[in-house]
Structure 1
């Protein structure tokens, strides 16, 4: 029994040594562990061989040879085992396998047992295996159940029991690895293997040390990028979507997607949205990765400044009203992307292409000047009304003056042509605002009082329109005659609105 325990201890010690070596490899090679990943979700096959070991009642009959070649009979063949297994790898750590261990156990004392001359035994088994870590060198342990059969009949019979093993798996590539392992198969009843029920309650058919190859029977499918979709050009500050089409149905999962937009920004997923802050040409890269490999593709995109159609900020004509034959200064300002083109049509058939042209109207009347600004991104238009009066001192009939005064007092707007000064007793004012509420007109009048120097006076005057609506006009004056009013209108053009007009006061 002492020899039996020695053999058993030595067998278990050998298996423990193998596991210890595996653990040391896993600790001493952290870089390999970090850089590689074990395949999963696939079928595999294992094939190997090694040295056999047998521990039973019979092997203890030769205490001088508790372990080693001396306990095996000479001429009956070498003590070896062969191992085959197929299984499924559920994850990088867990697998389930079905296999068989066949071996020659030529114990020297077999001839002393009547009827036993065959030293081969066969052990089918089912195992669950756990691999520690996911690196290039990974130790593992497994546990399962087995049945052992073989030998002459009588007296041997089928036995069963637990199977315990462990070893180290060394990755050779994407689809293959080398393993080194040790295994112990405990078999009951005791006489199932050696035909002897004396001494111990079980027999051991072990694999002292074995080596083999593990191959993937179903290779993982790497990702493949079918196409990338995205714009060729886009406006800065505008979000756009990029999308990738990948062989998701065929490629092994999990799949990892990564976008690099070329400006330091990244994103994940099969689709991604991004906006560029600065103009330029950018290379958008996409990668798809799984345990079988990595696929990459890229596309170029140009970010451009957004279109800036022009918008007219100001458009005016001074003086207004203007005298026939006198120069009228037009001015305009516009925003938008350069270059901006200006085109004025003055309403009398003349035109000019400048932001601030000068034009002279020869005939009194009301003219609508139209401004159009344009650039490559669009255009904008605005109109300016210009009232042109007869020059001061021109002959005007009293009927025409009365008609103009009547039109103005109605409150519908300024007269088309202010009348000439026909009487020293007539008083005129300059209307700078017209409002329906007196409370709105009062602060406007106050601002003009503060803006205009003495002796110019500013007051609010009320009047009825032709439709019975009360209007409150902010009026500068009074002035003795239209000449004096027009002179102030010209001199103070920068302080007065472009739509100011002359009004005969009661």
Structure 2
């Protein structure tokens, strides 16, 4: 609602402004930054002290690292101290066993700590540069010993004192009239602003609005402080006794019959005479802030006149009175989870803004809405139409049945020979997450949980996941065996083949692996981590990761499965996987996905080609996969198989000559086909079919050499060659038992197994 105001001043006023500046730097900042941090791992304690914890470019800070051994024998921990960027130090001051990585500002220290004693070192560092936007930095300490790790951080402030530009009063100053004081302030925070009004009042407000009860000269000062220093600037403000009229309505586009309060912001030396003209024939004398109601729509000019013994002032403002819009909406009264609910709003009397409240915490703006619910239930949908003069609300109950849930993040991509295969099997148009928070204010950490003896690491991972959700007031997730089975299989798979964290070595996506493990709910994301010996650290990593945090803190998710594998033969040793699901959702539709060969592949007709595809479900008894070469309407079967070679990956290996025979040898050019794989029932019914891919075969020159015609010079002896045995065209159908592979080494797994089948 835009204010339209014209101000007429009869008597001119004067504001005299002068400026002075003072700068002060504090000598202590222990209140905000202690510069001390401590980490404990078993019998070892690491302490980091930065003195002083506050500095500006050119200052010198002393970093002290001290490690204490509380055990009865000497220990050799590994310590990492990560310094903020912009610091430089004397590397020759480090003790034996310590190195300084200048590029990464990191100190690696391998001390030998005697029993019951402590070792320490001091390093003086000079602040070369400071980040004005983020002066609060961390000196991070990491203490590692025998596979255990503990982290700590000492927060320091590296910045510059504040900068204060012009200081002014934004309105003309008269007795009793509110005046807003403003200072142009810059510099790193946290900033503290205190105004001294020169009459005994001190206000800790950035932009105070003040009124002076008497005319006169006021020396006003503003003090701006941050941990790096304090700056003071002064102005001289003259407050005059002349009247100055000013007002505003609490609503400048009210509706007919709506009470409007006129807020008087006038000033001047009392006594003041006040006269109001509301523009509809109604006048009022003597009331400072009247309330008036208009009975008809239209434009009205409101006039305020004030006067005292020194002068007279007048202010005018136009307001427009109207009626609330007439509005309605059309929306279905029933839908299903994952299905779009489409609604449309209709309005008269110039509605300028239409908003929708879908009853599940989500809102939209505009005359049309399309929304998908993620939980079944009953929701009250509210449409609000606003034309500036009033609001009209229309509501309706919508029942949401159970249905198919949309696929969730993450969307990793597997590159196969330059082609992209998305993790979302059905490639939905919209991926929806409903995280409790969009971003973090700082580094997220969890307190260690004292688990009873015998608690597996997978159970600990499950507990830390729910502990992290509890920090954001989210309900705990329910443990699910099928999800844990998928998580454990993927953790084992990634220990051996860690290249792509979310794509199985058989080409399956996370959602497909949930189908293979027989999970009956909707897919809600996957999180993987490796190299962390403690599940708490893995969960902290996920929460601090912008791509993983929405998955862990999703309000929609209610099921989780956990997997853990410890394999010292692998590069990263510790491998963690968490699979998330929505119990009331529905699984994705299984898709028969062709893998190899890629479209446009060319081979000799005698080359053995590996036709590969992915199918996440176990074939039923009698079902088989058949690979066809397609030419026009003609389908030529290359062969059938019924068992995967690994996981959900199927491969049929065969050369084209066995099937198409001499057809490929009658020409020297390549013959093109489409290859396709079908899932068929025992009676030949097609249950699923992959995409078609172009493949071409060239005749093998070594197999199609023409015979030379000899010109005889001697009598020709005709010999009748023995008839060659016919070439049998086999249909390669492998045995029902998949090929065996060497078993992996014994590993430690920690996924809890149920006492009975799910």
Q: Which bracket does the TM-score occupy, shorter chain normalised?
A: under 0.3
Structure 2 length normalisation: TM-score?
A: 0.18
Structure 1 length normalisation: TM-score?
A: 0.25
Give 1 or 2: higher helix fraction.
1
**Higher RCO, 1 vs 2 (CA within 8 Å, ≥6 residues apart):** 1
From the CA coordinates, give the structure whose radius of gyration is larger: 1
